[in-house]
Amino acid sequence: MRARTSRGRCSGVGQDCCEPSGSYKFFFYSNEGDPREPVHIYVREGRNVAKFWLKPTISIASSQGFDARALREISAIIEHNVVRIERTWNDHFS
């Protein structure tokens, strides 16, 4: 499966957290949860939004509007970028 091309960014961080990934925008919220939830990432495409847990395995926490094919594609993008996403998360929250 080929990833589409455009730029995903982590909001509030200003660093790329995923390789180019089509119209998908990857981000996390800086002020979410007290205590903070485990490492996770959101993805948006138009009005569609989903939240993925990164540990213990990459899994869908919630999704609105994405079909199964898109969720598989997004999961593969996250898997390919999991080290970068975790590093960005840890740099931001430490």
Map out the domains of the chain as residue ranges.
25-93
- Summarize the confidence of residues 3-16 as an average pLDDT: 42
pLDDT digits (tens, 9 = 90+) for 26-78: 888 877 767 788 999 999 999 999 999 999 999 999 999 999 999 999 999 99
Question: Coil, helix or strand for 9?
Answer: strand
Q: How far is CA 77 from the centre of its chain?
A: 9
| pTM given for the model | 0.79
Kindly report the number of other CB atoms within 10 A of residue 34's CB atom.
6
Type of residue found at 51: K
Kindly report the number of other CB atoms within 10 A of residue 21's CB atom.
23
Q: Give the up-direction half-sphere exposure of residue 74: CA atoms within 13 A in the CB hemisphere.
A: 30
